[in-house]
Amino acid sequence: MPIDTRIATWNVNSLKVRLPHVLDWLSANPVDVLCLQETKLEERAFPHAELEAAGYHAVHSGQKTYNGVAILSREPAQDVQSGIPGFADEQRRVIAATVGGLRVVCAYMPNGQAVGSDKYEYKLRWLAALTGWLRTELARCPRLALLGDFNIAPDDRDVHDPAAWRDQILCSEAERAAFRGLVELGLADAFRLFPQPEKTYSWWDYRQLGFRLNRGLRIDHVLLSAALAAECRACAIDKAPRKLERPSDHAPVVATLAVPA
């Protein structure tokens, strides 16, 4: 019987390119669940065999070039749901599944490009649809975790240069209000349940030495229902893979849940 359950999220920015990093990371960090975003793969190209050889089942909702989400798990996933019910969307941004009594929702939330753009409007509509769906999903599944690339820095603490980013995409008031809307459903930001080092981020721009200068944003999150927040013992961002050759621009976020008494 495991001492605890570890769940994680990582935007890999192409699973084709990053599969070696994912396999190495899982070998060093044998989490129970790993949510991936930006697989950028059609289902037929998904590396099921390599992941199975590493001890992981996988469910995936993908497409060529853009988007694509997957849930890797030690135990097989059940009740798999792709997309937000009732929200027509060609972009593959959500997959949900039940793993060992946990309802896991893996999301790649829209970027939004620029405040006021059509993509920004889509982002806000998408966030409203997600929130509405999760309200019913939480009533049905009290042990629920929402993990993924939210493309929202919820607070100025999560931004390397809050003045430069003020009201910019990823930091605008409407985006932050949408994040608070998710929290108000009863979902807790696992990272903020614990003391954290200042200037901890999950994404750094590839350009201008962003990582080396720690010019980052915390936009990848693990949100936990009240039942799971009560069991959460730790949450951390693992910067190690960001230091490798040809890294993803995002780092994994890991939350540790104690087995209920």
Partner DNA sequence: ATGGCTTGAGTGTCAAGA
> Which residues form the interface with DNA (CB under 7 A)?
11, 13-14, 16-17, 38, 40, 64-66, 110-111, 113-114, 119, 149, 151, 169-170, 203, 205-208, 217, 219, 246, 249
- Smaller CB distance to DNA: residue 45 or 234? 45
DSSP state of 99: E
State how far the Cα of 138 lies from the Cα of 92, in Å rounded to an integer.
22
Residue 21 and residue 12 in contact, taking contact as beta carbons nearer than 8 Å: yes
Which residues are catalytically annotated? 108, 149
- Smaller CB distance to DNA: residue 32 or 149? 149
The residues, ordered by sequence, that sit 6+ positions from 248 with a Cβ below 8 Å of its Cβ are 10, 11, 12, 13, 18, 21, 241, 242
CB atoms within 10 A of CB 146: 26
Q: How far is the CB of 41 from DNA (least distance, A)?
A: 8
State how far the Cα of 31 lies from the Cα of 254, in Å rounded to an integer.
8
Beta strands in the chain (DSSP E): 4-11, 33-37, 57-61, 69-73, 78-82, 94-99, 102-108, 144-149, 188-189, 203-204, 216-217, 220-224, 232-237, 253-258
State how far the Cα of 97 lies from the Cα of 75, in Å rounded to an integer.
11
- Smaller CB distance to DNA: residue 126 or 138? 126
Q: Burial, 63: exposed, middle or buried (Cβ in 10 Å; 0-12, 13-18, 19+)?
A: middle
Tokens encoding 56: 């992981």
- Smaller CB distance to DNA: residue 77 or 169? 169
State how far the Cα of 260 lies from the Cα of 197, in Å rounded to an integer.
28
- Smaller CB distance to DNA: residue 78 or 113? 113
Task: Give me the phi and psi of 186, to 5 degrees please.
Answer: 110, 20
